[in-house]
């Protein structure tokens, strides 16, 4: 296969690559609203999980405090009953001091329980809002997808068709050129070939040396752009079918 013929095939591959880039960009834009809504729903799901985890911790703490409160109240009743039977003033005074301390402990526990109850109430309100917002985002994502579903399908079909056309063109190239293209394609944002027009690489918009431009234009060599390293192909009008 002559160099000129290889350049013609590479030019067609370049055109297919540009189509594929446009395909992927359109697919991304079409699904963007739906994807953003899905991400937002996922964030809310994480928020709901966090709230529920905290709620479980608070309920466990409140249960422990409730049990502790019942125990402390039982101890207080015992000491108060004992105080009624004590005759000695010194022992009575000491016991009353213990009873006062016990009452302060009980007040402290009750305060903690009230604080937990307040946080639980706030958490339930947050959970209700987050759950409603999540459902709303899921609905938005579904509606956004439905609104572009047909366009996504059409664009997906075009993408598959362009990939098939490109693969058929690649199969015509010698293995060495095909491997060379693939290496550059993977490194250069899925665009391994650049059209050169008026001595300017249309991928990086840098001017190439005049001698290189002339030789590529004549179909004498397969060379890369000195700036972006993409394979250069001459700008030729596509034949009408």
What digits encode the pLDDT tens for the residues 151-186? Answer: 889 999 999 999 999 999 999 999 999 999 999 999
Strands (E), 74-134: none
68 vs 148, higher pLDDT:
68
136 has a pLDDT exceeding 50: yes
Residue that is written with structure tokens 């309100």 in the block: 125
pTM comes to: 0.58
* Gap between the Cα atoms of 166 and 50, Å rounded: 48
Q: Which SS3 state, helix, strand or coil, does residue 198 take? A: coil
* Gap between the Cα atoms of 26 and 18, Å rounded: 12
Radius of gyration over alpha carbons of the chain, in Å?
38
Distance between the two ends of the chain, CA-based, in angstroms? 23
pLDDT more than 70, % of the chain: 98
Task: Determine the CATH number of domain 30-157.
Answer: 1.10.287.1490
91 has a pLDDT exceeding 90: no
pLDDT at 14: 95
pLDDT at 84: 82
Return the bridge partners of 197, or none.
200
């Amino acid at each position: 296969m002559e160099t000129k013929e290889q350049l013609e095939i590479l030019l067609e591959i370049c055109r297919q690559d540009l189509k594929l880039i446009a395909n992927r960009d359109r697919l991304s834009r079409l699904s963007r609203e739906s994807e953003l809504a899905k991400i937002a729903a996922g964030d809310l799901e994480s928020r709901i999980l966090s709230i529920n985890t905290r709620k479980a911790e608070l309920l466990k703490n409140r249960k422990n405090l409730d049990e502790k409160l019942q125990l402390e109240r039982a101890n207080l009743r015992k000491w108060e009953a004992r105080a009624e039977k004590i005759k000695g003033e010194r022992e009575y005074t000491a016991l009353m001091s213990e009873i006062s301390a016990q009452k302060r402990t009980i007040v402290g526990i009750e305060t903690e329980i009230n604080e937990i109850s307040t946080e639980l109430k706030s958490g339930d309100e947050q959970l209700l809002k987050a759950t409603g917002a999540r459902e709303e985002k899921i609905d938005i994502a579904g509606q956004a997808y439905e609104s572009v579903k047909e366009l996504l399908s059409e664009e997906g079909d075009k993408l598959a068709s362009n990939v098939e056309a490109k693969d058929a063109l690649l199969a015509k190239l010698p293995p060495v050129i095909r491997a060379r293209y693939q290496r550059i394609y993977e490194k250069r944002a899925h665009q391994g070939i650049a059209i050169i027009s008026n001595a300017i690489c249309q991928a990086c918009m840098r001017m190439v040396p005049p001698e290189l431009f002339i030789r590529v234009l004549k179909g004498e060599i397969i060379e890369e752009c000195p700036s972006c390293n993409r394979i250069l192909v001459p700008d030729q009008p596509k034949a009408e079918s």
